[in-house]
Amino acid sequence: MIFLVHTLFFLLANDVTLSFIVKIERGQKMYSSGQLAKQCHVTLRTVQYYERQGLLVANRTEADRRLYAKDQVTRLEMILTYKELGFTLKDIKGLLDTPENYKILQLLVAQHQEQNAKELERAKKRAVKLDYLAKQLEKFQVFPGNFTKGIEFEMEKTKKLHQLHWQMIGIGLVIDVILWGSIIYVFLNHGSWWLVAGALVISVVIATVLVYYVWQHTAYICPNCQHQFRPGLKAYFWSAHTPSTRKLVCPNCSQKNFCIEVYADKQA
């Protein structure tokens, strides 16, 4: 017994925290700071911080140690729940210190629902932008656009470019119908080849107008220097191309590369 007493005094003299000592005051179980932290699965610093903010109330012993009653365990659990829901410490303190807090809680929940809905919408938009950027980088190895104007601006341009391509396909199908329809008609009905000649002229006119229209609404980005430019009509028409690039000489760096096609406003 004497040995235990000496050991206890030795520990206290060396300022070692007895975090797992449970005291019984007036028949109520009390928790040390360490025990409260362990009970609620938080760190000791968290408990100490919430006490400094006035969210937790500790009883002081003669040795100036903090002990927490059972109701503080419940209070800390409520603090953590509200914190997880995104409430500020100021809001949490107001809820805990107000006996009839139903109306306040209802208002805060409504506010956070609205805020979370907005954050979710922003997150969805960010995800769409990241997906767009990843696809562009995978496809071209460089970003085909201007970051200073924002990804949304580039996404809108890409959308318009796709619409332009679909217009080209649609008009191309019309040309095929006119040309091949006239040829089939002449073969089946032994008609005049002047009909085919007329259809050919119409097809050439439509194709010429289409090429000119597309040229007016496209620009190109050099993969070497990122310069955006519009080629002349002749260079545009005769250059080799893929569905999304065209082999052109950049007027900025003078290198000839497959430049990335982007949508542009109509040329003057």
The most confident of the ranges 2-16, 30-44, 116-130 is 30-44
pLDDT digits (tens, 9 = 90+) for 141-171: 666 555 556 667 677 777 888 888 898 889 9
Report the CATH fold assignment for 2-97.
Multidrug-efflux Transporter Regulator; Chain: A; Domain 2 (1.10.1660)
CA distance 235 to 156: 27
With a CB cutoff of 8 Å and minimum separation 6, the contacts of 50 are: 56, 76, 79
pLDDT digits (tens, 9 = 90+) for 212-267: 988 888 888 888 888 889 999 888 889 998 888 889 999 999 989 888 888 887 65
132 in helix, strand or coil? helix
**Residue spans per domain, the chain:** 2-97, 99-141, 147-263
pLDDT digits (tens, 9 = 90+) for 119-128: 889 888 888 8
With a CB cutoff of 8 Å and minimum separation 6, the contacts of 265 are: 217
Residue 24 pLDDT exceeds 50: no
Q: Which band of pLDDT confidence, cut at 50, 70 and 90, is reported for residue 111?
A: confident
Q: What is the pLDDT of residue 21?
A: 40
Q: pTM of the predicted model, to two decimals?
A: 0.50
Classify residue 43 by burial, with Cβ atoms within 10 Å: 0-12, 13-18, 19+.
exposed
pLDDT digits (tens, 9 = 90+) for 171-225: 989 999 988 888 888 888 887 888 888 889 998 999 899 889 888 888 888 888 8
Percent of the chain at pLDDT above 90?
14
More confident residue, 27 or 203: 203
